[in-house]
Amino acid sequence: MSLSIGLFSFPFVSCSILLSQLSYFFPFSGLNKEAMQAMLKQQNEALNTAVSREDFLIALSKVNRSVSDHDLERFTEWMAEFGSA
């Protein structure tokens, strides 16, 4: 059994060995085993929190439209002429 992160695969031997392998590929420099475990636990807990309205609005402010006004106009004209299937 192993853990795959992107292109990397880490065999499960023990938690401490996994953490030492992760420290080779990811920037945990200067952290001891307990500090890395605490950081990973904190990140895991953060992943299990609900998305707030504020989180959504921040994300929304950072995205760009993928469809231009010109493309929307062309779609509207096409729908008026041909309708939907």
Residue 24 has pLDDT above 80, yes or no: no
Per-residue pLDDT tens for 68-77?
999 999 999 9
> Residue for token digits 């996994």?
18
Per-residue pLDDT tens for 38-69?
888 887 777 777 778 898 899 999 998 899 99
What's the pLDDT score for residue 70?
95
Give the separation between CA 64 and CA 62, rounded to whole angstroms. Answer: 7
What's the pLDDT score for residue 40?
82
Residue 78 has pLDDT above 80, yes or no: yes
Instruction: For residue 21, give the amino acid letter.
Output: Q
What are the structure tokens assigned to 73, written together? 């106009």
What are the structure tokens assigned to 64, written together? 């760009």
